Amino acid sequence: MNDSLHIIVCLSIEMACIWWGQFGGGVFSWRHVMGVLIRQVGCEVVAFDRPGWGLTSPPRKNDWKENHLPNPYKLKTQVDLLLSFCLEIGFPLVVLAGHDEGGLHLLDILLQLQIRGIVLIRVSLSREVFLAFAMILLRTSLGKKNLVRPLLRTEITQVVNRRSWYDATKLTTEVLNLYKVPLCIEGLDEALHEIGRFSSETFFSTQKAEILLKSLEVLAILVIAGAEDALVSLKSSQVMASKLLNSRLVAIYECGHLPHEECLKALLVALLPFISRCISLTTHHHRM
């Protein structure tokens, strides 16, 4: 696939829910959630694959350098892509939803869009999951890019198969194969090398963190945690929620790192009322 933006059929223009994926995932990660939101909530639903992530064809270094374009793997460029998309489509208000380090990336968008709410699924301030992958990338980057793909294929497969799921019996061959597909995309090695180089971009300075926390005070925030997550501890989610003034933490028991795969019903029980409230607030605001 050459498109870096994937759109699911829209029903309403009052508000859009935008899903920002995690490392090792893609728009396919949200396949069970998006259709339900469209049918039951009636908002526009969009999943966003960053360049080099998911099923998108990774941009080549020669291409963007020859055309004097910004590095597509830098966080600022990826955020600008999402902002440009929202402005082009004309989304008036949005709810942002991110999984793992994708949730932290969303914080860079807060001051630039009219946000009604934020959903953080398995997000940790310490970014321990993504940093583990980044270290693999950086350690194999010096003249050994040919090792990146087999290492990441092994690592991601092991994470999905053994650690991301609380109940591994729910992991089907079909799901496992979905998470393997991005590892076969042409140009992946170079893309992963670039992603690893910029892995520190989401470390916030004290000043920036204070500005972000201040801006979050007026937003509704839903923090969702898998109580048995072996990758991001429940305590990490509790620490994050405690720093967010207007947040609600929902712990899903007997659930690992991928609630949208393993515990869909429990996730939707928390998610649907939250997004419905955001829409109600938007409608009320427009009538005033």
Per-domain boundaries in the chain: 5-287
Sheet containing 220-226: which strands, arranged edge to edge? 5-7, 44-48, 16-20, 94-99, 115-121, 220-226, 247-252
CA distance 210 to 224: 23
Q: Which stretch, 175-179, 186-190, 225-229, has highest mean pLDDT?
A: 225-229
In CATH, what number does 5-287 get? 3.40.50.1820
pLDDT value at position 10?
36
pLDDT band (50, 70, 90) for residue 149: low
Given a cut of 80, whether residue 248 has pLDDT beyond it is yes
Distance of CA 93 to the CA centre of its chain: 19
Phi-psi category of 277—alpha, beta or left, where left has phi over 0 and alpha has psi -120 to 50? alpha
33 or 208, higher pLDDT:
33
Question: Structure tokens of 284?
Answer: 């009320």
pLDDT band (50, 70, 90) for residue 158: low
pLDDT value at position 150?
66
Q: Which of 13-22, 41-50, 70-79 has the lowest mean pLDDT?
A: 13-22
Mean pLDDT of all residues belonging to the chain: 76
Query: What is the dihedral angle through the alpha carbons of 251, 255, 258, 261, rounded to the nearest 10 degrees?
Result: -120
Phi-psi category of 255—alpha, beta or left, where left has phi over 0 and alpha has psi -120 to 50? beta
Backbone angles phi, psi at 118, to 5 degrees: -135, 135
CA distance 95 to 121: 13
Average pLDDT over residues 93-112: 71
Q: Which residues pair with 46 in a beta bridge?
A: 7, 18
pLDDT digits (tens, 9 = 90+) for 107-147: 667 667 777 888 888 776 655 444 455 454 555 544 455 55
CA distance 240 to 137: 27
Q: pTM, whole model, 2 decimals?
A: 0.81
Task: Give the number of other CB atoms < 10 A from CB of residue 262.
Answer: 23
Average pLDDT over residues 66-84: 86
Instruction: Show Cβ contacts of residue 243 under 8 Å, excluding neighbours closer than 6 positions.
Output: 125, 213
